[in-house]
């Protein structure tokens, strides 16, 4: 039996049309699933009995099992979910002064091989299906409802490379955005990629105004090759070409994420080189002090180093924010918890 949470509004509508039912049923079901957040088809009280029986025969409403929930001193929460096949994934809930955001995982593990990242250590086991992504958001949103808090943003920055799981990602985004459901505005959703040029071009064509972020992390190919294996296949110039296409087509500003790793990419020279690389691209830079990973040699930067890097970009007219770390004490950087759990059994 398939999860109902795999279905977009359009898919549900055609499901009912095929059964000679009114497609309006799909609106009702989306409301029950994502507005009223019911857990059983019987609770969908405006549906006919035959429709309820049909749904019960063909779909399940199973949630992900919550293996553990960790809370950090700064209020960040990390949900470790167990999938039906036993795989573990992580979802992070971050509290900002402007609201709550959820960081969503798209794959079990990752194949991109960034050397600083905990998610990629064991490679990719499999891609998540649509329901497994949707349920991360739905279940955390139910937690937020319980504590009377609002969900304001979704960042697709958990474990995995979202553009590598493209079709499921797009369906997931449509479900989040559906107006009579969770209704998360596209501008409140950010998808982060390590930089797959063809997929970035394809992403430019989707009919949702979501934000795109690129994990740049280096001012040149030499450094990027060292820390991001994908750069050997798609060097910076090719990624930037794709981003220019994306910008021309969508007119949406791109965010560059740049983690600051001591003695790797965080010197003043690196900052100056970064300015040269992205000046004129109408980009926005998010600087993030590296979150150290057990067993990795990389070290984070001091506050002062981060401020210096920031001020060089800022002085040169690059729109920059210096993002402080969240949930350091609970290993909230992607994949850290999953890896610890796998290692410690």
User: From the candidates 110, 117, 194, 334, which is the catalytic residue?
Assistant: 334
Q: How far is CA 47 from CA 3, 20, 52, 102, 273, in A?
A: 19, 15, 7, 32, 61
Closest distance to ligand SAH from the beta carbon of 139 (Å): 20
Phi, psi at residue 33, to the nearest 5°? -75, -45
Active-site residue, selected from the candidate residues 90, 132, 257, 292: 90
Q: What's the closest the beta carbon of residue 216 comes to ligand SAH, in angstroms? A: 8
Yes or no: say if 122 and 73 are a contact pair by the CB < 8 Å rule: no
Instruction: Provide, rounded to whole angstroms, the least separation between the CB of residue 157 and ligand SAH.
Output: 4
323/288 Cα distance (integer angstroms): 5
- Between 181 and 327, whose beta carbon lies closer to ligand SAH? 327
Least distance CB 215 / ligand SAH (angstroms) = 3
Q: Please, what is the minimum distance in Å from the beta carbon of residue 302 to ligand SAH?
A: 16
261: CB partners within 8 A, 6+ apart: 116, 227, 290, 298, 299, 300, 301
Contact between 301 and 289 (Cβ < 8 Å)? yes
What 3-state class would DSSP assign to 307? helix
Q: Is 7 or 116 the residue whose CB approaches ligand SAH more closely?
A: 116
Catalytic residue check, 292: no
Q: Which is nearer to ligand SAH, 184 or 334 (CB)?
A: 334
Minimum CB distance to ligand SAH smaller for 33 or for 216: 216
Which of 128/333 has CB closer to ligand SAH?
Answer: 333
CB 19 within 8 A of CB 48: no
Cβ 110 vs Cβ 117: under 8 Å: yes
The residue (of 25 and 77) whose beta carbon lies closer to ligand SAH is 77
Check: CB of residue 288 under 8 Å from CB of residue 261: no
List residues near ligand SAH by CB under 6 A.
112, 114, 116-117, 157, 161, 192-194, 215, 257, 259, 288, 290-291, 293, 333-334
Q: What's the number of CA atoms in the CB half-sphere (13 Å) around residue 97?
A: 2
Please state, in angstroms and rounded to a whole number, the distance separating the CA atoms of residues 59 and 2. 5
* Residue 280, token pair as written in the block: 């004129």
- Residue carrying structure tokens 């091989």: 113
Identify whether 183 is a catalytic site residue.
Answer: no
Q: Which is nearer to ligand SAH, 271 or 288 (CB)?
A: 288
Minimum CB separation of residue 19 from ligand SAH in Å reads 38
Dihedral sign computed on CA atoms, order 82, 297, 274, 238: negative
User: Alpha helix locations (H) across 166-235?
Assistant: 166-177, 197-204, 221-227, 230-233
Question: Among 229, 302, 309, which Cα is nearest to 265's?
Answer: 309
Residue 70 burial class via C-beta count within 10 angstroms: exposed 0-12, middle 13-18, buried 19 and up: middle
In angstroms, what is the minimal distance from the CB of 127 to ligand SAH? 12
Catalytic residues: 90, 334
């Amino acid at each position: 039996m398939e999860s109902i949470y795999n279905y977009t509004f359009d898919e549900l509508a055609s499901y009912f049309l095929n059964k000679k039912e009114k497609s309006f049923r799909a609106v009702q079901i989306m409301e029950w699933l994502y507005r009223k957040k019911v857990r059983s088809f019987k609770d969908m009280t405006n549906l006919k009995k035959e429709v309820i029986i049909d749904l019960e025969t063909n779909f399940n409403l199973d949630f992900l099992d919550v293996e553990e929930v960790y809370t950090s001193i700064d209020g960040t929460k990390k949900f470790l979910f167990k999938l039906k096949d036993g795989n573990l994934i992580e979802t992070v809930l971050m509290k900002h002064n402007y609201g709550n955001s959820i960081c969503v995982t798209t794959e079990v593990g990752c194949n991109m091989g960034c050397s600083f990242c905990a998610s990629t250590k064991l490679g990719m086991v499999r891609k998540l299906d649509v329901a497994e992504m949707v349920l991360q958001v739905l279940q955390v949103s139910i937690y937020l409802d319980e504590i009377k808090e609002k969900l304001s943003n979704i960042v697709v920055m958990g474990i995995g490379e979202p553009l590598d799981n493209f079709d499921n990602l797009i369906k997931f985004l449509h479900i989040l955005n559906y107006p009579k459901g969770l209704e998360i505005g596209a501008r409140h959703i950010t998808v982060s990629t390590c930089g797959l040029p063809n997929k970035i071009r394809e992403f430019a064509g989707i009919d949702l105004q979501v934000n795109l972020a690129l994990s740049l992390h280096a001012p040149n190919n030499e450094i990027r090759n060292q820390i991001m294996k994908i750069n050997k296949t798609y060097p910076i110039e090719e990624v930037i070409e794709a981003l220019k296409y994306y910008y021309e087509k969508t007119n949406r500003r791109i965010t560059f994420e740049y983690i600051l790793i001591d003695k790797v990419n965080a010197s003043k020279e690196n900052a100056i080189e970064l300015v040269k690389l992205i000046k004129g691209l109408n980009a926005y830079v998010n600087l993030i002090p590296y979150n150290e990973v057990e067993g990795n040699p990389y070290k984070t930067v001091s506050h002062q180093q981060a401020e210096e890097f920031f001020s060089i970009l800022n002085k040169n007219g690059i729109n920059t924010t210096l993002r402080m770390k969240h949930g350091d004490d609970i290993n909230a950087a992607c994949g850290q918890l999953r890896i610890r759990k796998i290692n410690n059994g």
